[in-house]
Chain A
Amino acid sequence: MNIERTRSERRIVALEIRPRVIGFVVFDERTRLVDWGSRKYRVRTQTLSKVLTKKLNVLLDLYVPSAVVVRTREVRSRTARRRIDIVTGILRAEAKRRAIKVQILSTKAIRRRFAFHHCTTKQEIAGLIAGWFRELSLKLPPKRKHWRTEDSRMILFDAAATALTFLEVSPTKTKSTAD
């Protein structure tokens, strides 16, 4: 990753794309967490494009980021993979229309970046991020039991991990918006 380029990014939106929901975080000035949340689109694949374009437009028009960062994932299900591909395609088109860069990061790169902090599991990474950003700490889900599905709140931490990997920052003390 080009360090000089990423350092010049003023505001980024990091997305965690799932087949039926998108998680997002918005960072301003590298370590200022501006917004976070998720947008559901539990619609048929045929109507996905229309619904999602609207949701993405709101996000991109509101924050006017310099880059959108997305993590690539290995998805076994063909249907899920197709939906994720559609979402990524819409995102690329909308970003291109606004001259916004789309950066794709691999899961491996994110894991490698957090391994530096001795965090190897998703739960450990989420715990570390919750420690850095107090506003996210209340969203930290309890450790998942192996027979349970993933907590829906984990999507926020996945998006935050993607953003922090892209920005190459380890905020020991996060910058408040009051600063």
Chain B
Amino acid sequence: MKERELENYLRSHRRKSGLSQRQLGHLLGYDNEVQVSRHERFEAVPPLDSALGYHIVFRVPISALFPRIYEDVREAVEMRLGQLKISLQSSAVRGREAETIAQILVWMMDRRDRDMETDEY
């Protein structure tokens, strides 16, 4: 069985803060603790405004709060980027379209270089 990251670390951060589910729910604008409880038990994925709310409350990046979702999205997007790159490199267009494709390919190279720099740190 391949183990994965936990879906989120909301409960862990909340317990470290000492906040109750109700208090955290109130901070996020909920009427009660039900939604926070559901998020903590991985029964529901919080909407974007709540995810940002968690990030603001705990001062932890969303990617660290929701590592599994982040990893799933990252893998999927990176795979599609790879496919896009291959299709752009193999396209045989000229003129302005070619310029646009070149711009995208340069941006992709810059993006990869930035990733490598980030990895070094």
Contacts and interface: CB of A to CB of B under 8 A. Distances in A.
Contacts of B22: none
Interface string B1-31: 1010010010111011010000000000000
Interface string B50-71: 0000000011100010000000
A62 interface: yes
A154 B82 CA distance: 53
Given A35-B11, A62-B41, A99-B1, A135 B16 contact: yes
B42 interface: yes
Interface string A25-51: 000100011111000000000000000
B3 A178 contact: no
B3 A177 contact: no
B16 to A, nearest CB: 5
Q: Chain B at the A interface: mostly helix, strand, loop or mixed?
A: loop
A177 B13 contact: yes
Nearest to A66: B3
Contacts of A36: 15
Q: Chain A at the B interface: mostly helix, strand, loop or mixed?
A: mixed
Contacts of A11: 3, 6
Nearest to B3: A10
B60 A62 contact: no
A177 B64 CA distance: 8
Contact of A35 (B1, B3, B15): B15
Contacts, number: 36
A178 B60 CA distance: 6
A37 to B, nearest CB: 8
Nearest to B9: A177
Contacts of A64: 3
B60 A177 contact: yes
A132 interface: no
B41 A177 contact: no
B36 to A, nearest CB: 15
Interface in B71-95: none
Interface in A59-96: 62-64, 66
B5 to A, nearest CB: 8
A62 B15 contact: no
The 6 closest A-B pairs by CB, nearest first: A10-B3, A178-B60, A135-B16, A34-B12, A177-B9, A177-B12
Interface of B: 1, 3, 6, 9, 11-13, 15-16, 18, 41-42, 58-60, 64
Interface of A: 10-11, 28, 32-36, 62-64, 66, 99, 135, 138, 177-179
11 contacts: A10-B3, A11-B6, A28-B6, A34-B6, A36-B15, A66-B1, A135-B15, A177-B13, A177-B60, A178-B58, A178-B64
Given A62-B42, A177-B13, 20 more contacts: A11-B6, A28-B6, A33-B12, A34-B6, A34-B11, A35-B11, A35-B15, A63-B6, A64-B3, A66-B1, A99-B1, A135-B15, A135-B16, A177-B9, A177-B12, A177-B64, A178-B13, A178-B58, A178-B59, A178-B64
